[in-house]
């Protein structure tokens, strides 16, 4: 049983809670998630089963979409409504001011992760330092806001949609917007509507379902590994090459000249597929594909990044 299940995480549960539940329901030890959601948040949480846990690094770089509600005039230590209030004021802002400031956050910006987050400092997550009363100021890091749109303003609440790069904290975004407006703000509600190619339409809600039905639904809704990276080009390999790759072979130009290679630039990642057993490996091109014909036959064409046990 190998694949990915898209879970609709309920509010109040940690991402780890969801993984533990699936591990118990399926009776499988090797289960992991990609893209942590805070307990307050709901929505798309991809959960990887068995061999699919090796795919987590390829999902983590994906962009994400959220629907969020921020509360103006309230600052908390966690940057969301569940934290301790550290400042409160009447937000004297106009809708036009809010719209203008929102637009200022589109593009590449710098962001400081929240004190209560899983970002690590000296090997420990920031939230562990914060819980001990130790203040750690993490380094600013660059993230990108691709799109942001206000859906509703019922002041002091503002609901908006945002599409952003990996590593973006919506709690920090709300706090930064509040500071720019001069009144402060915190996150009031959050739902992830998309993570990479996975969206909320395919997400499975497990709360309130009988354990036997949960097991059946999880198995039925599991996405094959071959279908989880739809934008990554693929190369069909034969059984002999598939077995060699699973034994540690790094494909050379000579052997790849006999295969149908899509257009690739140096550094592109590719899926190696075997027709009967699915995903064999994810590899990185060491040379552009149009170099292949002129390459020395013994020169390495691809670097193997992950190999999957497809039962060959």
- The residue from 8, 17, 38, 80 that is catalytic is 38
Q: Is the pLDDT of residue 160 over 80?
A: yes
Q: What pTM, to 2 d.p., does this model score? A: 0.87
> Residue 125 CB: number of other CB atoms within 10 A?
14
User: Is 38 marked active-site?
Assistant: yes
Give pLDDT tens digits for 278-303: 899 999 999 998 888 888 878 888 99
pLDDT of the residue at 252? 87
pLDDT of the residue at 125? 62
Domains annotated for the chain, with CATH where assigned, are 3-61+197-227 (3.30.2350.10), 66-190 (3.30.2350.10), 234-307 (2.30.130.10)
Q: Is the pLDDT of residue 251 over 70?
A: yes
Give pLDDT tens digits for 99-140: 999 999 999 999 987 766 666 656 666 666 667 666 767 667
pLDDT of the residue at 120? 64
pLDDT of the residue at 68? 98
Q: How confident is the model at residue 222 (pLDDT cuts 50, 70, 90)?
A: very high
> Residue 312 CB: number of other CB atoms within 10 A?
13
- Among candidates 192, 228, 226, 308, which has minimal Cα distance to 5? 228
Tell me how far CA of residue 119 lies from CA of 12, 14, 130, in angstroms.
Answer: 21, 16, 12
pLDDT of the residue at 90? 92
Give pLDDT tens digits for 42-66: 999 999 999 999 988 888 888 999 9
């Amino acid at each position: 049983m190998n694949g990915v299940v898209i879970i609709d995480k309920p509010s109040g549960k940690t991402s780890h809670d969801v993984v533990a539940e699936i591990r118990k329901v399926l009776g499988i030890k090797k289960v992991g998630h990609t893209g942590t959601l805070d307990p307050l948040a709901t929505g798309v949480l991809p959960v990887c089963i068995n061999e699919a846990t090796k795919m987590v690094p390829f999902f983590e770089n994906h962009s994400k979409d959220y629907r969020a509600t921020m509360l103006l005039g309230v600052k908390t230590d966690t940057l969301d409504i569940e934290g301790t209030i550290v400042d409160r004021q009447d937000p004297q802002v106009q809708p036009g001011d809010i719209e203008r400031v929102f637009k200022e956050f589109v593009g590449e910006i710098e962001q400081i992760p929240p004190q209560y987050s899983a970002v690590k400092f000296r090997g420990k997550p920031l939230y562990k330092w914060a819980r001990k009363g130790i203040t750690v100021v993490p380094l600013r890091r660059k993230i990108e806001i691709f799109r942001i749109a206000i859906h509703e303003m019922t002041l002091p609440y503002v609901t908006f949609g945002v599409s952003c790069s990996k590593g973006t904290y919506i709690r920090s975004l709300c706090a930064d917007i509040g500071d720019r407006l001069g009144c402060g703000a915190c996150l009031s509600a959050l739902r992830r509507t998309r993570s990479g190619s996975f969206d909320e339409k395919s997400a499975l809600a497990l709360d309130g379902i009988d354990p036997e039905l949960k097991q059946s639904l999880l198995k039925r809704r599991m996405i094959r590994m071959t279908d989880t990276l739809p934008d990554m080009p693929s190369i069909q390999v034969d059984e002999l090459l598939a077995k060699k790759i699973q034994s540690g072979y790094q494909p050379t130009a000579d052997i790849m000249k006999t295969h149908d290679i899509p257009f690739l630039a140096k550094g592109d990642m590719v899926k190696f597929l075997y027709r009967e057993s699915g995903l064999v490996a994810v590899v990185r091109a060491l040379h552009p594909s149009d170099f292949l014909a002129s390459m020395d036959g013994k020169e390495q064409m691809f670097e193997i990044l992950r190999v999957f046990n497809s039962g060959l």
